[in-house]
Chains A and B, each alone.
Chain A
Amino acid sequence: DAGVTQSPTHLIKTRGQQVTLRCSPKSGHDTVSWYQQALGQGPQFIFQYYEEEERQRGNFPDRFSGHQFPNYSSELNVNALLLGDSALYLCASSSNGPFYGYTFGSGTRLTVV
């Protein structure tokens, strides 16, 4: 049973560029959440997708956008990259409901130079 898969694993981009990160949820999960984790910090919530819509959003600017597809997979897009966007980006999937923990992918490590 495949867990959460993310691609790519590592990425180096230049300031001002755009990036797209991809996530396939664990089989049976229909909810996808994206998190940003800076070094030494806990993961910070970016947004959550359910039924192909953004259901909830954290305190991130509009440069961060996403999408969920009918097969529940998801993309995270970041425009006009800043140096401060360098972080580990984690995708987490779960079943819908408040009592389910998340299963995380191994993340995409983004470096903006």
Chain B
Amino acid sequence: RKEVEQDPGPFNVPEGATVAFNCTYSNSASQSFFWYRQDCRKEPKLLMSVYSSGNEDGRFTAQLNRASQYISLLIRDSKLSDSATYLCVVNGGGSNYKLTFGKGTLLTVNP
């Protein structure tokens, strides 16, 4: 099983749509979780951290289910500018310091 697995995508949605990204992770000792966004040929940028209680930032909502080792990201009222690759990221936990990235899911929002 891969350390971090995401929906393969790509997703093509119209402006205004709601889109959900799903991610699972294999290491139950992981302590921190993030969603990053990466535009074409650019570096990844932190979109939001993910907390156990769930958290929201404007149109973006992240959820974490530790029992199922599952993370999600919901984007409401999608904009053209949301078009990017969304990367699910998990830290190793304990003395495993690295952040492990999923392969990413490409989102294209169409006019």
What is the number of residues of chain A that contact chain B, defined by CB distance less than 8 Å?
Answer: 26
Given contacts A43-B44, A90-B44, A107-B43, 6 further A-B contacts (CB under 8 A): A35-B101, A44-B101, A56-B96, A98-B93, A99-B91, A104-B44
Say yes or no: B93 contacts A42, CB within 8 Å. Answer: no
- Using CB atoms and an 8 Å cutoff, list the residues of chain A in contact with chain B: 31, 33, 35, 40-45, 48, 50, 55-56, 58, 90, 92, 98-107
Q: How many contacts between A and B, using CB within 8 angstroms?
A: 58
Of A42, A55, A56, A104, chain B has the most CB atoms within 10 Å of the CB of A42
By the criterion of a CB under 8 Å from any partner CB, how many residues of chain B are at the interface?
24
B100 at the A/B interface (Cβ < 8 Å)?
yes
Residues on B facing A (Cβ under 8 Å): 4, 31-32, 34, 36, 42-46, 49, 87, 89, 91, 93, 96-104
> Are A56 and B31 in contact (CB-based, < 8 A)?
no
